[in-house]
Amino acid sequence: MHKSRLSTFVLDCRVEDIDVATRFWSQALGRTVKPVAPDSENYRELSSDAHEPMLLVQKVDHPSRIHLDIEADDLEAEVARLESLGAKRIEFVRHWWVMEAPTGQRFCVVNPQRGPLRERANTW
């Protein structure tokens, strides 16, 4: 048995300057920009309430789009569950899986982003 839930909406931006893109999304969504982590040169996080999905702005080389992340307390079990529903593994990156839904959208399966999932998630 494992737990998972929607974690993050990621705004993939094919841009030269991630901070310009972040300013746009911050102002468009009315969200402040959180302090930049030292190892996050291509990522910026916008503020969100604890009960809302996280909002990330990411600098990418592929066309701009929005994707979502699903967080799971057992990465392999969640990926296998999603494969049984028709998703396929595309690539393992650092410590998460890039997946593709049977409908063609890409998404990621990641480890818990804000602590243990507990009752805030689906149990499978």
- Here the CATH number for the domain that contains residue 96 is 3.10.180.10
Domain of residue 16 covers 3-123
Residue-wise pLDDT for 81-90, tens only, equals 999 999 999 9
State the Cα–Cα distance between residues 77 and 82, nearest whole angstrom: 9
Report residue 9's pLDDT band, with 50, 70 and 90 as the boundaries.
very high
Residues present in the chain in total: 124
Interval 63-121: pLDDT, tens: 999 999 999 999 999 999 999 999 999 999 999 999 999 999 999 999 999 999 988 89
Question: Once rounded to an integer, what is the mean pLDDT over residues 36-65?
Answer: 93
**pTM confidence score:** 0.89
Beta strands, E only, the chain: 3-13, 43-46, 54-59, 65-72, 88-93, 96-100, 106-110, 122-123
**Which residues partner with 59 through β-bridges?**
13
Question: How many domains does the chain contain in total?
Answer: 1
Q: In 3-state terms, the chain is what percent helix, strand and coil (to 5)?
A: 20, 40, 40
